[in-house]
Every structure is written in structure tokens, then in C-alpha cells.
Amino acid sequence: MTTPHESATRPGRPPVVDHATWQAARDELLVREKAHTRAGDAIAAARRRLPMVEVDGAVPVVGPDGPIPFRDVFDGREELVVYQHMWHDGAPHQGQCEGCTVSAWQLRDAPYLAARGVAFAILTTGAWDEVAPYLQFMGYTQRWYSVRGVTGPVGEEMGRFACFLRDGDRVFLTYTTTGRGVEVASPSFQLLDMTPYGRGEAWQDVPDGWPAGAEPGWYWRTDERGRGTWGPTGRPTPQWTRPGATPVETSGRRGSHH
């Protein structure tokens, strides 16, 4: 794949037309985009009408100040959104989950959620003594908590977003999403989808003769030159912006690269 550091002439280009022809085609697509937006609004309305299930608000989670009950993660607010971040025990920084990094990095701060009265935090199954230095290395400003040993919706099924509602001391799970559902928090995906070549992934529907796509998420893990790689010299892409992120000889995990 062509990277920002390399120059190549790619095969495949959109047809060249005059502005009026382009505008007509753009207006035609806009009808579909508006329908998509309205369909999303309708789904959100149905989501608000989902039932909810009670969870243990007293279960302890561990943060920088030690254990606290899960209900305190709400930070005095009524609603809470969490991202549940996968963790690989004993792995160095570059060995942590590149997919979860996509979501966590793009939500380094959530002031607009707070302004709406919604708390945000990241939960992970990692032990706090491993998580803390990782957060310092990454420069994360979100509130992170270890849910090591916690069962149920709070401590299981990582790699997803979950929404909770608090009513006094009672806590309820209202919604979860995983897989491509977590893309809602990653504006980079939506911006890439606006570009002619998109995400450069093999599943994309592209015209005949256009650049062949690579495996999903090929750009989540890169080498020091910014080239997508799942090989031993790769690490989650944002890590190259951190002080001390030097090339490595291993991705830091056993078994497989991803």
C-alpha cells in the first residue's frame, strides 16, 4: 500500500467531468446520505426504548487511587459510557491491542459527553500495576480502571462500548456494541470513507482496476516509517508519536500478530 512517505501512481481514478455534471451526481448521492442519516435517527430512537438490566454497582474496580465501587465511576453523573479495552498480560506497550487503541486514542478526552452530563471511562482487564505505566507512556487523559477479576457486564467481553444508567445506588446496563459498532467513536474511519480510495481494505466495494485492498486494519499497526505492517517491527500506530517509541524486534505478544 502507498504510504504518506512514498510516492506512486495508483491505478484507477474517478472520471473527470465538468462541475455541473459532478454536482448532479453529488446531489443524487446526497439523497441516499440523508436517508441514511434519518435511518440512523430512527435506530437511535429504538435504542432509547431498549429495556435495561441491573448490575452490581458495588463491585470494586481499581484506579489510580485504589479500589472504588463501580457506581463511583459515574463521577456524580446519571449516565456513563465506557470503552472496555482488551489487555494482554505481561506484554510491552507495543504488544497491547491495536484495535482497542483505535477507539481509546480517538477518545483521549470527552468534554462534550461531560457537558451533556454523561461520564466517560475506560475499563480493562489488565492489572493496575501494568496498566498505569502504559497510560503514562501513551499520555492518556481519560479515567481508566482495572476490572481484573470482575464478572458480569462490567468485567467481561472487552472490545466494546457499554452504556450504564445510575439511579441512586442502583446501576443498570442499557446498551452495548462491539465489532464495527465501535467505529462510532472513530472519526478517522468516516473521513477515510469520504475519500476516493477509502480505508484501503480488501472488503471494500471499489471499481474494477482500482487499488487492491489489504487485510482489515492494515494501518492500525505500522513501522517507524509509517508503513502498515503486522510484522515484528510494528506497533499500534499512535505509539510512534510517544517519547521513547523506538523500533522494536518483536510485537510483544506470543502466538499471532493480531
Which sequence spans correspond to the domains of the chain?
53-181
- Dump pLDDT digits (tens) for 84-128: 999 999 999 999 999 999 999 999 989 999 999 999 999 999 999
| C-alpha cell read off for 186 | 472513530
Q: What are the residues whose beta carbons fall under 8 Å from the beta carbon of 19, sequence distance 6 or more?
A: none
Return the pLDDT at 8. 54
Return the pLDDT at 9. 60
Type of residue found at 93: H
pTM of the shown model: 0.90
Q: Which residues of the chain have pLDDT under 70?
A: 1-10, 253-258
Q: Report how far apart, in Å, the C-alpha atoms of 39 and of each of 34, 46, 193 are.
A: 9, 11, 19
Return the pLDDT at 244. 78
* Architecture of the CATH domain 53-181: 3-Layer(aba) Sandwich (3.40)
Return the pLDDT at 5. 47
Number of Cα atoms under 13 Å in the Cβ half of residue 248: 22
